[in-house]
Amino acid sequence: MAHANRFTRMHEHEVGEAHDSSSSGGFISGDNGMMNHNNLSFDVENVGNHHETSVAAAAAAAADSGGGGSSGGIPPQRESLHTEFAHQRASTDFIIQKKATKDRCILLVGVGIGIFVSLIALLIAAFVYEGVVGGGPNNNNNNNNNNKKTSSSQQFSTSGTSVNSHVGCHLEPTNSHVSFLVVGDSGRMGTHNQTEVANAMAMCADNLRPNFIVHTGDIFYPAGLRDDVNKRNSDFAASFTVPYNHDSLQVPWWCVLGNHDYGDGCGDSVKGEFKLDKCPERGEGRSPLNTLSKDLRRRDKRFFVERNYDVRVSADVHIFFMDTNPLIDEYKLEAWGEADVVRGGLRSSETPTPRFILNKLQSELQQSNARWKIVVAHHPMYSNGKHGEFKELQQLLLDILIDNNVAMWFNGHDHDLQHFAIDRSTKTLVTHDDATNRDRTDTSSTLLHSFTSGAGSKTGRGFPGKLKSVYQMDLPGFMSVKVRDDTASVSLFDYMGAHLHTHDLKRPAER
């Protein structure tokens, strides 16, 4: 598949030069000073003319009188004129010098104010664009930004090495590997940095040449695709086809459903009653069945989503996609899950039950002989983000994943980038240093790695959780994954294409 390089790779944020009216005023004052100086020069010229006339008259008078006066001396009349002229010239020079000094002072003050205002503007811009990193206790991330206080406002970072220079986005020297990108929680019609993340993904894909792209859910905000066919097609194009139209992203996209794809956000539950405040007409309703429609695949052949499915990528790599929405306890009482409100909702007959989902996953994992098993879902087992950890998923899934040698778990839901490592024997989280040392020294991995990639557009929620994490960053971005024979690497990048974090891991031992 051809991968052209005709697209812009990065969006740089420029800070414009600050201009202040006080600075302009300084120059205006300087202009007035120059005008006064010209007037003063004109007065000096008049004084000189008067002097020449007086001297000529005195000389004529002296000639008529026969050159009276002392020999070689200055006649009294000329001496008086010289003295008068000297006084006037000195007075004029003093006024000119005083004016010029005033003009220079005004100019210097204006320039100083301009420089000061510019520095303040640059400091404000640097603060706004500074990245926010959160960290759980005992995190030892070797990341200087990790102890910064998080903020609810959107904050960015351009620190890190360029995506073009990092191995996480470089093609392997051999073809005996599988590579792919992971993004989630993106579908905002190109807004909230979705377009910027897409551009950074394309820049990475130009070099990596991924086999496919994984989407961790919430493909279409605010509540899935609309029932109206024309509006549905328009929303699909605006949130998927157009933002990801780069040549290097023309590969299969394998997606899972998020809670917003199910209709969450279409209305509010108020004291047990459903209020369609965001979908005022039932005809404007949203439904997961719209996202699951085969018609979308005909409109864009890259797009593929089902509730639960698996893809054998190669002889060694097998990926399992699961729908975790029916497993979430807090959704069981949500009105948007009612079948008569949202077609194909959580409690409709078309939606698989939790028992079916878990049995299907366990059976398929047991039957797979792939050396690398990867599971993709929407909701996190562990998270320090706004939504936090889902303990019901830990209870339902940890044993299944560990017993069947799953190496990596990818999810979205929280709008950030996170990495957790779970000890397979104790089922507890380990720190950054512990995870790094184990994967460097152990012959096979003793850890299950969990990654949150939900930063495809809107971020900025911070990290209120305090779980031990290997790494976490509250920035728009995505991940790249490369799987080799016995090792794999996962790299995190922000929306500008700056490299944030890479972890090299080993394949779990055969059980």
Q: What is the mean pLDDT of each run of 10 residues along the chain (511 residues)?
A: 38 36 36 38 38 41 43 51 55 59 72 78 54 38 35 33 58 74 92 94 93 96 87 94 96 96 68 46 71 94 96 96 94 76 84 95 96 97 92 96 97 96 94 92 89 93 90 95 93 93 90 69
Residue 151 lies in a domain: no
308 and 265 in a single domain? The answer is yes
* pLDDT of res. 400: 97
Q: How far is CA 3 from the centre of its chain?
A: 24
Of the residues 3, 192, 387, 449, only one is catalytic, namely 387
167 and 247 in a single domain? The answer is yes
Dist. CA 324–CA 34, nearest whole Å = 76
Residue 188 lies in a domain: yes
* pLDDT of res. 86: 55
Residue 453 lies in a domain: yes
Dist. CA 438–CA 424, nearest whole Å = 12
pLDDT tens digits, one per residue of 352-386: 999 999 999 999 999 999 999 999 999 999 999 99
Last residue of a domain, one of 109, 128, 147: 128
3-class SS letters over 98-112: HHHHHHHHHHHHHHH
Phi, psi of 213 (to 5 degrees): -130, 135
* pLDDT of res. 175: 59
3-class SS letters over 13-24: CCCCCCCCHHHH
Phi, psi of 167 (to 5 degrees): -65, -20
* pLDDT of res. 316: 93
Residue 309 lies in a domain: yes
30 and 122 in a single domain? The answer is yes
Angstrom CA distances, 30 to 96, 116, 118, 456, stand at 14, 19, 21, 53
Contact status, residue 453 vs residue 479, Cβ threshold 8 Å: yes
250 and 339 in a single domain? The answer is yes
Partners of 472 in the beta sheet? Answer: 418
109 and 208 in a single domain? The answer is no
Contact status, residue 483 vs residue 317, Cβ threshold 8 Å: yes
Instruction: Find the helix or strand (DSSP H, E) in which 399 lies.
Output: helix 391-403
* pLDDT of res. 283: 45
End-to-end distance of the chain based on CA atoms, in angstroms? 38
Instruction: Find the helix or strand (DSSP H, E) in which 502 lies.
Output: strand 499-506
Which of 269, 353, 364, 279 is CA-nearest to residue 321? 364
pTM: 0.68
Which of 237, 15, 211 is CA-nearest to residue 124? 15
Residue 140 lies in a domain: no
Dist. CA 301–CA 335, nearest whole Å = 34
Q: Is 246 exposed, middle or buried (0-12, 13-18, 19+ CB in 10 A)?
A: buried
Which of 486, 465, 476 is CA-nearest to residue 420? 465
Instruction: Please confirm, yes or no, whether 387 is among the known catalytic residues.
Output: yes
Instruction: Find the helix or strand (DSSP H, E) in which 181 lies.
Output: strand 178-183
120 and 172 in a single domain? The answer is no
87 and 215 in a single domain? The answer is no
307 and 351 in a single domain? The answer is yes
117 and 247 in a single domain? The answer is no
Q: Pairing between strand 487-494 and 499-506?
A: antiparallel
188 and 108 in a single domain? The answer is no
Residue 12 lies in a domain: no
Contact status, residue 461 vs residue 386, Cβ threshold 8 Å: yes
100 and 55 in a single domain? The answer is yes
* pLDDT of res. 326: 94
Residue 383 lies in a domain: yes
Q: Is 333 exposed, middle or buried (0-12, 13-18, 19+ CB in 10 A)?
A: exposed
| Range(s) of the domain holding residue 100 | 21-59+75-128
Dist. CA 216–CA 201, nearest whole Å = 15
* pLDDT of res. 315: 92
Q: What is the DSSP code string of 29-71?
A: HHHHHHHHHHHHHHHHHHHHHHHHHHHHHHHHHHHHTTS-SST
186 and 236 in a single domain? The answer is yes
Domain count of the fold of the chain = 2
Residue 139 lies in a domain: no
CATH of the domain at 242: 3.60.21.10
